[in-house]
């Protein structure tokens, strides 16, 4: 396939590399900032472009991988005919693309991507949705070339998955960041806690998370919880989070 990438960030970079590896050709990389378009085009081929009117017409696939809030605006500037166009967002409805082409869909990779970290794309769950069963079949076929984990999901289910992913990944990682700061404030090395983080993630490969919970809130260790609250008394944001999460855990595990 001849592919036009609209976006040059984390997802565009990983998707472009996976498509290239599967034998597809990147013909254009459009991005708002020329240096970003050029960086990705240098890595995967294609012409770096910042003027949307100069994007190649008649390619086989157009992939919008930009910030969610700008997908609609970008789509409204594209006037394709019967060329296939997809976006890669977890939460934006498929219909956002209905004015851009008669053939549209969603190609959402359910993984966390950072540009400079390698990901084995074969293990990335790809969630696809097409505007017709034929388009869905085409996207399923393309997705199967890139990954061994492919699923068809409508926009409502994809939204649910994305919210779940925000809890499981984005919020969890933010907890790691808070814990990094707590340790740094005491001149303690983040390395100390890395094995705990690894085991927490490893455990839920075998147990369900509801069974894997540990800690003072689960045990209702009131003295420890009070000590922790005292420790955090000068950090109101952390204290608020600690109290809120502790309350949620206690309520979640309350006997019926």
Ligand X SMILES: NC(=O)c1ccc[n+]([C@@H]2O[C@H](COP(=O)([O-])OP(=O)(O)OC[C@H]3O[C@@H](n4cnc5c(N)ncnc54)[C@H](OP(=O)(O)O)[C@@H]3O)[C@@H](O)[C@H]2O)c1
Positions touching ligand X (CB under 6 A) are: 7-12, 31-33, 36, 65-68, 70, 88-90, 108-109, 112-113
**Minimal distance, residue 73 CB to ligand X, in Å:** 7
Q: Which is nearer to ligand X, 81 or 116 (CB)?
A: 116
Q: Which is nearer to ligand X, 109 or 130 (CB)?
A: 109
Q: Which is nearer to ligand X, 37 or 217 (CB)?
A: 37
**Minimal distance, residue 69 CB to ligand X, in Å:** 7
**Minimal distance, residue 131 CB to ligand X, in Å:** 18
**Minimal distance, residue 191 CB to ligand X, in Å:** 25
Q: Which is nearer to ligand X, 5 or 225 (CB)?
A: 5
Q: Which is nearer to ligand X, 56 or 235 (CB)?
A: 56
Using DSSP bridges, classify how beta strands 125-130 and 103-110 pair: parallel, antiparallel or unpaired.
antiparallel
Rama region for 6: left / alpha / beta (φ>0; ψ in -120 to 50; rest): beta
**Minimal distance, residue 8 CB to ligand X, in Å:** 4
* Residue number closest to ligand X, CB atom: 9
For residue 56, give the DSSP letter. Answer: P
**CB-based contacts of 41: which residues, under 8 Å, 6+ apart?**
26, 29, 47, 48
236-252 vs 172-185: helix crossing angle, rounded to 10? 130
| Element of type H or E holding 103 | strand 103-110
For residue 187, give the DSSP letter. Answer: T
* CA distance linking residue 74 with residue 64, whole number of Å: 8
* CA distance linking residue 10 with residue 218, whole number of Å: 37
């Amino acid at each position: 396939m001849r592919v036009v990438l609209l976006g040059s960030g984390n997802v565009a970079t990983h998707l472009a590399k996976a498509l290239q590896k599967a034998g597809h050709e990147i013909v254009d990389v459009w991005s708002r900032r020329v240096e970003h378009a050029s960086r990705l085009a240098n890595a995967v081929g294609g012409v770096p472009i910042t003027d949307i009117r100069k994007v190649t017409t008649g390619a086989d696939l157009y992939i919008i991988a930009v910030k969610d809030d700008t997908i609609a605006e970008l789509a409204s500037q594209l006037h394709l005919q019967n060329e296939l166009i997809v976006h890669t967002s977890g939460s934006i409805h498929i219909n956002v693309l209905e004015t851009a082409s008669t053939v549209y869909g969603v190609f959402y990779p359910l993984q966390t991507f950072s540009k400079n970290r390698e990901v084995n794309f074969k293990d990335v769950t790809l969630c696809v949705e097409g505007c017709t069963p034929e388009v869905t079949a085409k996207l399923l076929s393309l997705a199967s070339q890139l990954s061994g984990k492919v699923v068809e999901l409508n926009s409502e289910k994809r939204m649910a998955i994305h919210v779940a992913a925000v809890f499981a990944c984005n919020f969890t990682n933010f907890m790691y960041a808070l814990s990094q700061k707590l340790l740094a404030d005491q001149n303690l090395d983040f390395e100390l806690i890395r094995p705990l983080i690894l085991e927490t993630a490893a455990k839920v490969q075998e147990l369900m998370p509801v069974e894997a919970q540990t800690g003072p809130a689960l045990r209702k260790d009131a003295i420890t919880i009070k000590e922790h609250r005292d420790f955090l008394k000068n950090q109101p944001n952390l204290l608020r989070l600690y109290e809120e999460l502790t309350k949620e855990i206690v309520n979640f595990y309350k006997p019926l």
